[in-house]
Amino acid sequence: MKGYFKSDSSQAFDEDGFLKTGDIGYDDEDECFYIIERLKEMFKYMSWHILPSTIDAVLLEHPAVKEAAVFGIPRIEEKGEVPAACVILKEKYSINKKEIEEFVAARVSDYEKLRGGVIFVETLKKTPSRKLMRKEIRKTILNSL
């Protein structure tokens, strides 16, 4: 794509000529593209960029976790937002929040630890195509605090 029809498209492209879609992804040696995150879902803790889907994947490795959604919540004493997670447990599992936090802490960088805590929920808001509605989940949690 070279631009939008009869419109100034200069702001739509980055310095390398790529269209700014708001997606974060990569390509492999076979020139296949993989979209892994939305730029707007990313948040900053201190000077670190946090990709929620990375921590989601770690949570899903736990045998008790059925679904998870990580998002940033503001903390006055911290610079930026700290990672927090909503978690749905699999049936017949009994585990506490601290166990989940320790599981994640052992597998992620220091800045990705769930400093915002773990909230157990029954459901997670999703689009009709089953994508997490991370902004809505975050908004619901912040309104309940």
pLDDT in tens, 111-142: 999 999 999 999 999 988 888 888 899 999 99
As given in the structure block, the two tokens for residue 133 are: 């509605």
Q: Structurally, how many domains does the chain consist of?
A: 1
pLDDT, greater one: 10 or 98: 98
User: Which range of residues forms the domain containing residue 118?
Assistant: 41-144
Q: Assess if residue 33 is contained within a domain.
A: no
Q: Assess if residue 107 is contained within a domain.
A: yes
Cα angle 71, 131, 126; round to 5: 80
The residue type at 127: T
Q: Assess if residue 32 is contained within a domain.
A: no
Domain of 67, CATH number, reads 3.30.300.30
Residues 82-94 pLDDT 10s: 999 999 999 999 8
Q: Assess if residue 103 is contained within a domain.
A: yes
The model carries a pTM of 0.74
Q: Assess if residue 75 is contained within a domain.
A: yes
